[in-house]
Amino acid sequence: MLPPIIPLFPLPNVVLFPGVFLPLHIFEERYRALTRDALAGDRIIGMALLRPGFEGDYDGRPPIYPVGCAGVISHSDRLPDGRYNIVLHGLSKFRIVEETTEGEYRRARVEALTEVTDASGRRQIKDLRTRIEGLLLSALKATEVQIPGSLSDEDLVHALCQYLEFEPAERQALLECDGTVARARALTEFLEMQALLAQHPTGRRPGVH
């Protein structure tokens, strides 16, 4: 359960997904303050993607996409100079209802977007996993990709959405899908498109960061 107001950490190229771990290096003063406050409280941080054109107002409050994903700090190291290395564990999607105006860093009132997959949905994701793994093995070659068999179908979908070489807006679109089944379908379509592009001399090959 998310608290009604959470701190926001907007970035230009990072989208967090539920259940996925995200390492972050915290160096800006405002986000050091955010991290200190989070560690002293519920350890929750809301990741949000900056909209294109943010550069001119990066130090202010440039526009962000309204749907993000909150994570809980599962590990933290404070460096001697005050910077932090932390790991966020994706917790829940959220929609921004209203941003607050006070404080050193951005905060927002949010509503949690809970995703529940029923038995029928889990069967669909399982079937899609077979197709997804086939696309990965075809594009990356079996020697370059290893998919843990212990990783659940939903966790695999979310991990691939976060770590494959998609454009930030593509990752955002995957996050905004209405549930994991729709996300798995969209991921499959993206991979099929990348497989086609990989056959063209100027196509971009899919790969893991």
How far, CA to CA in Å, does 12 sit from each of 27, 48, 51, 101?
15, 9, 7, 21
Reference 151, options 172, 136, 169; nearest CA is 136
pTM of the model as a whole: 0.88
- For residue 129, give the amino acid letter: R
pLDDT tens, residue order, the chain (209 aa): 899 999 999 999 999 999 999 999 999 999 999 999 999 999 999 999 999 888 777 778 889 999 999 999 999 999 999 999 999 999 999 999 999 878 899 999 999 999 999 999 999 999 999 999 888 877 655 445 566 667 899 999 999 999 998 899 999 999 999 999 999 999 999 888 877 876 765 545 444 44
Where helices occur in the chain by DSSP H, the ranges are 29-40, 119-140, 153-163, 168-176, 180-198
Which domains are seen in the chain, by residue range?
Answer: 5-113 (2.30.130.40), 119-198 (1.20.58)
As a whole number of angstroms, the distance between CA 26 and CA 103 comes to: 18
With beta carbons less than 8 A apart as the criterion, state whether 73 and 39 touch. yes
Reference 162, options 171, 154, 149, 170; nearest CA is 171
- For residue 19, give the amino acid letter: G
Question: For strand 21-26 and strand 67-78, is the pairing parallel, antiparallel, or unpaired?
Answer: unpaired
With beta carbons less than 8 A apart as the criterion, state whether 38 and 45 touch. yes
